[in-house]
Chain A
Amino acid sequence: MQTIHKGLYISATDLSSENRGPEPANEKDLVEKARTGDPDAFGELVRRHRSKALGIARSLTQDHHLAEDIVQDALIRAFLHLGSLVDAARFSPWLAKIIRNEAYMKVRRGGPHRREQPFTSLEGARQPAIGADDWQDIDRILFQLSRSALDSARQMQDPSAAFMRKELIDGIRSLLQCLSPREKRIFEAYFFEQLPPQEIAALLDTAVANVYNSISRARSKMQQERIRVHISMYVQQRRQMGKPGKVLLAPPLFVPVWED
């Protein structure tokens, strides 16, 4: 874990303004580039936002070392989930939200948290897009993932990329638990192995229509699962913060009148 942190670690001194080259066009372009996996573009984003990120983390933790850890982890998360940032122009508030979530997790758990965090909680860090179908994000991540799988040689040389890929796959696999074995097989074949539905149908000796149905059913199940996990995490957070668990007010004045 430590090596991975070091792999992405860029210290505040390295990033001081004196060492800067000319400013690239704009942040939106950087985000777009970083999304395609360009490490230089992401490095530049980190350079620009690191000190602000540290400021946020410090204000939340009142602890310099913990703040450093939080920012490191948050940056890894940000890199992993750039694909789910819908509006590239909103990188800064998006990152700030990841930092806050990360700080919250760390403070809550009282130390570096485990890696078995469900995928949905990572997703929780993203800015909600107004009216966006959040499934597009999962699809985008899945496809990015399969793209990066093709580039396995590069990953062998870069342990942090391999780690990220593993974490991503683990996160998605935790969601897959809600599927039946057959749905899971089809879903994995479609997304991870990128097999066309025709091939999956031949492989599993079934009709193409069934494959489409399974994919669609699996998507909807996984969507429900995402919501379920997200809400569970939220309720758990409330409990840990000591919020009330139950409130019931007097019933409203108006009464149900519908006759079924």
Chain B
Amino acid sequence: MTTRTRDDFTWSKNTDTSAIHSMIQYTNKAGMSLIDVMGYTAHAFRIIIDREAVEVGSYSAFNWPLYHAQQLNNLGFMVQTLGRPSHIPPTPEELEEAIASIQTSLDRGVPALSWDLFIPEWGLIYGYDDENKVLRCRDVRKDGDLPYEKLGRGEVTEMYVLTITGSHPVDKRTMLKGALQMAATHAKYVEVEDESHRVGLDAYDAWIEAFTKRTVDPFGNAVNSGKVWDTRAFAAEFLLELSLNWEGETLQDDRLRMLAKEAAEQYGEIAERLVEMRDMFPFPQGGDPNSNEQAQRALTLLHEAKAAEIAGVALLERMLEALE
């Protein structure tokens, strides 16, 4: 039996999912817990690591419009996205289009998801004021006003806006199936086409490679240790809740509850390894990851975490079979 690495599941270091959870509270699906949002978007099962240095931006090295839309679709939302990771600031026309889409959403009472408002993380835009030409924004760094002209011209100069344009009911079985499919795909398939980032199970190898080469960036590693630990703690909790609360009387439902309990154990194992990583490499200084002592310990933890993840993914796939 693993021990929980946290008791409070009302916050997450994964700012897109955390912002998306907040966004949902303004819709007809309000009340959905952060645990459910992390689980049913499959964000709890994601991991992306850069094999050169475990660089800080690894968590955002994916096709945002594609995966965010997929995640929200799985919860029963239709979305519109503008912009993408590009390092190119918006033209005046693109900026106007984005502001118009934000305002349309706010007029309907739902905030917009955006990027790099006050820091290169995801945050929400929950107000606008045409008179002063400012957007009211919140991200993990700050709550405040952002001039219209500054949207997409923050630290990394790229614009991204996602708005919810519709919602339809989805039952838990469909959501779970979709989430498990996304998780299994993420674990095994190449989603990111670049030289240094690795996704899913390969991400553990990338992390191991950087520690083996002793080329770990202390800050990036601290950020990633914290973020990936956070996801796996949510994964364990999501699966545990599923094992306790999943409704259904068939043998397949019994099987699903049993498999979810076993999977919760595996993800709990991963969270235990990663919380030790998080504490050894505290944010923001990040400890001394390239020292022999810490690197050796990290390698042991990462190998163990990867073994548990392989077992965990296999269980998710069996859960998927039980749902077929």
Residue positions of A touching B, CB distance < 8 A: 120, 123-124, 126, 128-129, 131-134, 224, 226-228, 230-232, 234-235, 238-239, 243-258, 260
Residues of chain B within 8 A (CB-CB) of A253 are 21-22, 25
Residues of chain A within 8 A (CB-CB) of B99 are 231, 234
Is A231's CB under 8 angstroms from B22's CB?
A: no
Chain B 122-143 interface mask (CB, 8 Å, partner A; 1/0): 0010111111010010111111
* Cα of A239 to Cα of B209 in the assembled complex, Å: 57
Is B21's CB under 8 angstroms from A231's CB?
A: no
Query: How many residues of chain B have a CB within 8 Å of chain A?
Result: 43
Is B141's CB under 8 angstroms from A256's CB?
A: yes
Residue of B127, B139, B141 touching A247 (CB-CB under 8 A)? B127
Q: Is the interface of A mostly helix, strand, loop or mixed?
A: loop
Can you show 16 pairs from A to B with CB atoms below 8 A apart?
A: A133-B88, A230-B95, A231-B148, A234-B96, A234-B99, A235-B130, A235-B133, A243-B103, A245-B129, A247-B127, A249-B109, A252-B124, A253-B21, A254-B18, A254-B140, A256-B142
**Which A residue's beta carbon lies closest to that of B129?**
A246
**Which B residue's beta carbon lies closest to that of A126?**
B93
Least CB distance from B131 to A in Å reads: 6
* Cα of A228 to Cα of B138 in the assembled complex, Å: 23
* Cα of A225 to Cα of B79 in the assembled complex, Å: 32
Is A131's CB under 8 angstroms from B126's CB?
A: no
Q: Are A249 and B127 also in contact (CB < 8 A) when A254-B21, A258-B141 are?
A: yes
B26 interfacial by beta-carbon distance below 8 Å: yes
Is A239's CB under 8 angstroms from B130's CB?
A: yes
* Cα of A256 to Cα of B128 in the assembled complex, Å: 19
* Cα of A239 to Cα of B103 in the assembled complex, Å: 13
* Cα of A120 to Cα of B96 in the assembled complex, Å: 12
Residues of chain B within 8 A (CB-CB) of A228 are 149
* Cα of A244 to Cα of B130 in the assembled complex, Å: 8
Residues of chain B within 8 A (CB-CB) of A260 are 141
Q: Are A124 and B95 also in contact (CB < 8 A) when A224-B149, A247-B128 are?
A: no
Residue of B88, B93, B119, B138 touching A252 (CB-CB under 8 A)? B138
Least CB distance from A15 to B in Å reads: 31
Residues of chain B within 8 A (CB-CB) of A234 are 96, 99-100
Q: Are A128 and B142 also in contact (CB < 8 A) when A251-B126, A254-B18 are?
A: no
